[in-house]
Structure 1
Amino acid sequence: MSEWWTRLATFEFAQPWWLLLLLALIPWWRRTGRAGVTPAVSYSSLRHFAGLGRKVAPAATRRPSWLPMLAVVAVVVALAGPRIERGADENESEGIDVMLVLDASRSMDSADFDFEGQQISRRAALERVIGDFIAEREQDRIGIVAFAEQPYLISPLTLDHGWMMEALTEMKTALGTALGSGVEAAVDLLRQTDGGNRVIIAVTDGLNTGGTDPLEAARLARSYGVRLYTIAVVSYDEMQTGVDDLMLSQMARLAGGQFFQAADGASLESIYDQIDQLERQEFKRNELRAFTELFPWAACAAMGLVMIELAAGFGGRSRAP
């Protein structure tokens, strides 16, 4: 019962301007029941016509004058498109496409990251957090591009997240940090998809050392409607000198995302949780709302009222003399 009331609370009209036609019924309603016009010919008595024709029962002559009005009201309501929401249309809803762009430079092997009381490498911490992140996004296609001196594909966009995580464990670190080239490669993969929601989450722990200009890569992402989030993964000692905060912030701002900085496992988990919530809100705004249309009910009500009016009219019609 509570679910029924919840759905009823979403009642609305798709085209409410049709309801303005109801204003035209006000003069009609006010005239209903008024005395007829003055007769053109007056008779002193009608007793000479008393025997002509067949008498009609009084009940039959009293047809309900409000039936035509109700029928018109029902037609207007039907035209206005009454409906109630039944929630998001699962048949129309789709996930989003997410490319993870991960730093595979040798510094990611540095075991200086505090994660739940243990000192582990930045790469190991990132793998754990990514695992939790994708576990909550079963409908999203996710892929991974790694970058060191050059970008390379670890996993294309896929719904097989288990296989993707296995491929991630095979990632090899190398020299160099070509962040811009990694983002550019991810944009090239995303622009070939038909999805409306496309996201890149780029993670790095060092300064860009070559390849495509990171800001140009961010502008490329923006041109294809791809949101870009950037994350700096550094120790507390390297926060000021280990990464270019300004560049990473500019990249995110250019492509409609945000910049984050993580110095331990807890902050890295919090960042991915924030990105997860931001993307869920964005996706929710783009979901199709599905409705149960009430037009047939209003149309049937109008037809029923018309039939009753016609039946009453034929049943109460008297025979002419």
Structure 2
Amino acid sequence: MDIGALHFQNPEAFWLLLFVPLLVALYVYRQQRRKSTIKFPALAIAKKAVPSRRVRFRHIVPAFRLAALVCFVVALARPQNAMEVEYTSTDGVDIMLALDVSGSMGTLDMLTRTEQAKLGVMNAEKILKRGEYWKYSRLGYAQDVIAEFIGKRHSDRIGLSAFGARSFTQCPLTMDYGSLLEILKASDDLARDTLVNNRTAIGDGLMNALARLKMSDAKSRVVILLTDGRDNASVVPPVRAAEVAKSLGVKVYTVGVGKKSGKILAFQQNPWTGEISWGERDITPEEGIDEDVLKAIASKTGGRFYRAENKAELEKIYSEIDELEKTEIETIAYARYAEKFYPWLLVGALLILLELILANTRFVRIP
């Protein structure tokens, strides 16, 4: 039984309060039946006598007794203060992000029309020298989308491995998302260093991520591999790496980025003046991703293959993966009670003591 913020463990004790009105009625009845006789020589003078304060407040003594009874009944009902306590049990997901940082990730083929028009009116040479074009590249968009993905996770360990001509770990599994985002932001520096080298080691990149997940005891272990090219530099073939992932129970999602065909915005240099300007060029078949290999990797490990030709599609892909790999959170709630009957016992005892003192001093009755 709950009354306000208090919980009463033995509410049946409140039935005893039914005796309170009976005791009041009995007291009134006895007062009315009570008769006193005194010899006084002048009855007229006695009738004019005004009752003293002691007589007017004589009923306070039994009132204290009844109040004490009420306090004892409330104490008997065991009032308690309930405090709800929650414990959260989390089965986290360990996620390794394998990111392609080869030079081809600087390609400007995922631009919206607005972004392409914006870049087209800007000084190409300044944009190239400052490296500002990277935020509009495949890698730039990938960094933005992956950062959003990391921001949605709360109870998972996430790591980052990068691969180009070779693979290496940029950040081991961690819950320090702030540091991870800073490291992710610096990934375009690696791509600039490999700009003249478009070799891509997809298999080695996957193996590097698996090495970080091998000792993980998480209930779910996942690799999200993003690339825009074909494997041409791995020591371990991608399909063989997928078999290793399967044996470890690691699920691999593969994401291919970049247009399949068409024209892309590119820098061009005047051979006579050396001036840098904007131009367009066709996407060659050699630049496309190896969908068959990426599909095989995902299929062998129970993951999925995705293809993104623009930022909106890439955002949708990572949102879907985020939903598929939700952390299981179990909340256990219970109430802890603190006993609150002691004050009621104390007040009741003080009222009884006060009633005894007044009944034997100020309001003493002489038969």
* Fold match (TM-score > 0.5): yes
* Inter-partner Cα distance in structure 2 for 1:130 and 1:154: 15
Query: 1:214 corresponds to which residue?
Result: 238
Query: 2:95 corresponds to which residue?
Result: 98
* Inter-partner Cα distance in structure 2 for 1:143 and 1:177: 20
> SS in structure 2 opposite 1:260?
strand
| Count, aligned residues | 202
Q: 1:115: how far off?
A: 5.2
Query: 1:141 corresponds to which residue?
Result: 157
Which runs of 5 or more structure 1 residues have no equivalent in the other structure? 1-85, 293-321
Query: 2:111 corresponds to which residue?
Result: 114
Task: Mark the CA change 1:288 to 1:262 in structure 2 (over 3 Å): closer, same or farther.
Answer: same
Aligned partners of 2:102 and 2:163 also within 8 Å: yes
Aligned partners of 2:87 and 2:331 also within 8 Å: no
**2:218 is the counterpart of 1:195:** yes
Which runs of 5 or more structure 2 residues have no equivalent in the other structure? 1-83, 117-135, 262-282, 335-367
C-alpha RMSD of matched pairs (Å): 2.3
* Inter-partner Cα distance in structure 1 for 2:232 and 2:291: 15
Task: Mark the CA change 1:233 to 1:197 in structure 2 (over 3 Å): closer, same or farther.
Answer: same
Query: 1:300 corresponds to which residue?
Result: none
> SS in structure 1 opposite 2:217?
coil
Task: Mark the CA change 1:130 to 1:239 in structure 2 (over 3 Å): closer, same or farther.
Answer: farther
**2:310 is the counterpart of 1:264:** yes
**2:320 is the counterpart of 1:274:** yes
Identity of aligned residues (%): 35
| Pairing of 1:233-248 with structure 2 (within 5 A) | 233-237=257-261, 242-248=288-294
Q: 1:194: how far off?
A: 1.5
Task: Mark the CA change 1:116 to 1:199 in structure 2 (over 3 Å): closer, same or farther.
Answer: farther
Which has more radius of gyration?
2
Task: Mark the CA change 1:116 to 1:140 in structure 2 (over 3 Å): closer, same or farther.
Answer: farther
Aligned partners of 1:178 and 1:209 also within 8 Å: yes
The one-letter amino acid paired with 2:244 is: L
Query: 1:184 corresponds to which residue?
Result: 207
Q: Deviations over 1:179-201 (max 9, x none)?
A: 00010111111011111211000
Q: Deviations over 1:155-194 (max 9, x none)?
A: 1111111111111222212221000001011111101111
Task: Mark the CA change 1:148 to 1:279 in structure 2 (over 3 Å): closer, same or farther.
Answer: same
Q: Deviations over 1:117-157 (max 9, x none)?
A: 42410010001001111111021111100001110111111
* Inter-partner Cα distance in structure 2 for 1:160 and 1:264: 29
* Inter-partner Cα distance in structure 2 for 1:239 and 1:202: 23
The structure carrying a bigger strand percent of its residues is 2
Task: Mark the CA change 1:159 to 1:168 in structure 2 (over 3 Å): closer, same or farther.
Answer: same
> SS in structure 1 opposite 2:88?
coil
> SS in structure 2 opposite 1:186?
helix
2:227 to 192, 197, 204: 204
Instruction: Give the ranges of 4+ consecutive aligned residues of structure 1 lying more than 3 Å apart after TM superposition.
Output: 238-241, 287-292
Query: 1:223 corresponds to which residue?
Result: 247
